[in-house]
Chain A
Amino acid sequence: MTGTPILMASTSIGLIIVSVSIAMLLIRVIIGPTLPDRAAALDTLGINLIAMAGLLAIRLSTIHFNDVILLIAILTFIGTVALAKFLVKGVVIERNSR
């Protein structure tokens, strides 16, 4: 937790903005009228989590969050692909699809 005051202030502002964004996305996930709304909101929620992890890595001045950022990106991508496949085709891993 050793950073210059300007670093602390700017990461605080960034974290507050990302938190507001996550709260608004959670509203969309809860009241979203259709399932694709919820899927898109969850996808964007993952990207906001990446932003939050990056800001926390700057604030705590550590490099050990970089793997976590890449991991969240990969898991969000695969989760969204699986969810979209389920919404369109009804199965995630389809058989006899030649």
Chain B
Amino acid sequence: MNGLNDLILQTTTKVTAFLILSFSLYLFIAGHNATGGGFVGGLMTSAALVLLFVSYGYERASEVLPVDFKLFIPAGLLIAVLTGVGSFVFDQPFLSHTYGYIDLPFFGEYEWATALLFDLGVYLTVVGVTMTIILSIAEDDEKN
């Protein structure tokens, strides 16, 4: 089955994967005021990664992305817990979040919120779980 040529698919993937990744970043950032958030942003990121794995095969894609996606799950959970524990430092109840305003040079007034850090934990966990499930299923072939 190795004689088949995937030139069109691989060239399309080179463009499309970055479009999907930027869309997932947009969904992650915009989740506070519009549709989106950590969950669907993580799902879109893993969709782009799955597209890379489908187009280029397991070995080449994991050479480009030498990342152990299982480590994303504890990292995301740790970030989510630490944003909850961090509210103890300011003598507030668990998972109290706050926000404020800063002036960015180009974008003007920006409302930062510590809920974005919690969302980052959700994002990393979703990416880790999805990629672990899909790659674990892809790995076990020709064993039985």
CA A46 – CA B138 in complex, angstroms? 26
Question: B44 near A89 (CB under 8 angstroms)?
Answer: no
Rounded to whole Å, the gap between the CB of B117 and the closest CB of chain A is 22
Q: Mark B34-58, 1 if CB is under 8 A from A, else 0.
A: 1110001000100100110111011
Smallest CB gap from B13: residue in A: A81
Question: B141 near A75 (CB under 8 angstroms)?
Answer: no
Give the total number of A-B pairs whose CB atoms are below 8 A apart.
60
Identify the interface centre among B47, B55, B60: most chain A CB within 10 Å of its CB: B47
Q: B16 at interface (Cβ–Cβ under 8 A)?
A: yes
Counting contact residues on chain A (CB < 8 A from B), the size range is 20 to 34
For the residues of A in contact with B, the DSSP-based class is helix
Question: Could you give 22 example pairs across A and B, Cβ below 8 Å?
Answer: A64-B34, A67-B27, A68-B35, A71-B44, A74-B20, A74-B44, A74-B47, A77-B16, A78-B51, A81-B51, A82-B50, A92-B138, A93-B54, A93-B58, A93-B135, A93-B138, A94-B57, A95-B58, A96-B59, A97-B2, A98-B57, A98-B59
Instruction: Given A74-B20, A74-B23, answer yes or no on A91-B51 (Cβ-Cβ < 8 Å).
Output: no
Q: B133 at interface (Cβ–Cβ under 8 A)?
A: no
- Which residues on A are within 8 Å of B, measured CB to CB? 64, 67-68, 70-71, 74-75, 77-78, 81-82, 85, 88-98
CA A67 – CA B28 in complex, angstroms? 12
Question: B residues 3-45 with Cβ under 8 Å of A?
Answer: 4, 9, 16, 20, 23, 27, 34-36, 40, 44
CA A88 – CA B2 in complex, angstroms? 12
